Amino acid sequence: MHYPNGKKVTVNAAKPSVTSGTIYSNRGMTLEEDINETNDYYKNTNRAIIHKKPTPVQIVQVDYPKRSAAVIKEAYFKQASTTDYNGIFKGKYIDFEAKETKNKTSFPLSNIHQHQIDHMKQVVDHGAICFLLIRFSVLQETYYYPAENLFSHWQKQLNGGRKSIPLDTVKKEGYIIPIQFHARVDYLSVIEKYYI
């Protein structure tokens, strides 16, 4: 696949590696899986409608060894993606990005891109609720982090400042989301409590 910058990216469909009975496939996907399950729960209980945004892809080459086994050989991202999720809750538009880090002391700003910041600013300017869900995977802690707070840290790093947000700052400026059974990442409870 080619990202919008024209660079080719090779996608390997590697089999899960197994060492001493532990499966290491899909590590780093746990936050996304938890959010998707939470969003299904929200939809099934008629609490909100939140969807994962599809990534727009232009397929260039497909091999058809047989009709039921088509294989995409080459594809390009049509445009840079914005954020991961959007939807509606109690008449309010919601837009957010989900990020997971193995870092124990800070959230690296390199996980975010300028086009995502630009998109989030536009969403906020139109009065929507916009935020990051940040999971510190080693600590197993997930935080709701308002986009408005992210913008100031982003600007500071562009001016030569720190290139990460310290965990203490995330705790101070954000809201911890305890893991629950049905709504694994119940971010709507934070929105309900502080924004609606």
Per the DSSP assignment, residues forming a β-bridge with 89 are 92
Task: Return the biggest CA–CA distance within the chain.
Answer: 56
From 126, 124, 53, 39, select the one nearest 89 (Cα to Cα): 39
Secondary structure (DSSP) of 52-72 = EPPPPEEEEEEE-SSGGG-EE
> Which DSSP helix (H) or strand (E) runs through 146?
strand 141-146
Cite the annotated binding site by residue number. 82, 84, 97, 116
Cite the annotated binding site for Mg(2+) by residue number. 82, 84, 97, 116
Secondary structure percentages of the chain, helix, strand, coil, to 5: 30, 30, 35
Strand 106-108 and strand 71-77: the pairing is unpaired
